[in-house]
Chain A
Amino acid sequence: MVGIVLVSHSFELAHGLAALASQVAGSEVRVEPAGGGPDGTLGTTGDVVWNAISRAECGQGVVVLADLGSSVLTVRHLLEEGRSNGHVRLVDAPFVEGAIAAAVMSSAGQDLDEVARAAEDARGASKF
C-alpha cells in the first residue's frame, strides 16, 4: 500500500490527524505523523519528517501532505537533497480532507498516482 505522511507544525495536529485517518481507513495503511519542532515547540524538523517517510514506505511509494508554509519548504528541501528515491510525492491538498481521502484510497489498494489524485481532488469537496 501507498504510505501517507502528515507534516504539521504541531505534534498534536499531526498525531491527531494520523489517528483519525487510521480509524477511518483501517490500521493496515501506514499513516505516519511528523509534527513539531525540537523540544515540543511548534515547527517542522527535517529528520522527523524523513523518519516518518522511511516508516511509511513499504515499496509502493509515499504521499506527503503538509499543513502550511514552512512545512512545505521542509519537505521540498528533503526531496531536493535527493534523499527520496522518486516514489515520494508532496501533494498540494487540504490537510484533513486530503489525508482522509488518501488513506482510504491507499487502503483500497490504489497506486501512488490514484492516491495523490484523491488527496488533491479533496480541495473541491464540500463538507455537507
Chain B
Amino acid sequence: MLAVQASFNPENSASSRGPLSEITVALPAAVALHARPAANFVKTAIRFRSRVTVGVNGKIADAKSILAVLALGATGGTVLKLNAEGEDASAALDALAACVSGLVE
C-alpha cells in the first residue's frame, strides 16, 4: 500500500537555495532498499539538481550516494522520509515517490 503525504513550507520558498519540500513514502512490502532497488532510487535522485535526503528511523542519508542509502538498511514496507531542497525539489520528490512505489526485487 503506497502512502504519500506531501508538505510544502512556503517560509522556505524564498531562500536562495530554492524551495524545500518533504514527503513520506513506504517501500513496497516485499522490496528492501538494497542492491538493484537502491541503485534505481539513487539514479533517480541524481537526475535532479536539488539536494535530496532520505530518512529511515531517524537515520538520514544523501539520496545520491549508493553507499549511504545501502547503509540505511531499509527493509520492505519501511516508511522513507524524503526531503529535497532546490529549484527542482518538487519534481525530484514526485519522481522518487514514483520510483519507490514501483520498485521490484
Contacts and interface: CB of A to CB of B under 8 A. Distances in A.
B39 A104 contact: yes
Contacts of B43: 104, 107-108
Interface string A85-128: 00000000000010011001101111000000010011001111
A108 B36 contact: no
Contacts of B36: 23-24, 26
B66 A100 contact: yes
Contacts of A100: 66-67, 70
B73 A97 contact: no
Interface string B27-52: 00000000110110011001100000
B71 interface: yes
A104 B62 CA distance: 14
A101 to B, nearest CB: 6
A110 B78 CA distance: 29
A23 B35 contact: yes
B99 interface: no
A48 interface: no
Interface in A3-26: 23-26
Interface string B56-88: 000000000111101101000000000000000
A123 to B, nearest CB: 10
A62 B77 CA distance: 38
25 contacts: A23-B35, A24-B38, A24-B39, A24-B66, A25-B39, A26-B39, A100-B66, A100-B70, A101-B65, A101-B66, A104-B39, A104-B66, A108-B42, A108-B43, A108-B46, A108-B47, A110-B46, A118-B65, A121-B65, A122-B67, A125-B65, A125-B71, A126-B71, A128-B71, A128-B73
Interface of B: 35-36, 38-39, 42-43, 46-47, 65-68, 70-71, 73
Given A108-B43, A110-B46, 10 more contacts: A24-B35, A24-B36, A25-B39, A100-B67, A101-B66, A105-B66, A107-B43, A118-B65, A125-B71, A127-B71
The 3 closest A-B pairs by CB, nearest first: A125-B67, A104-B66, A108-B46
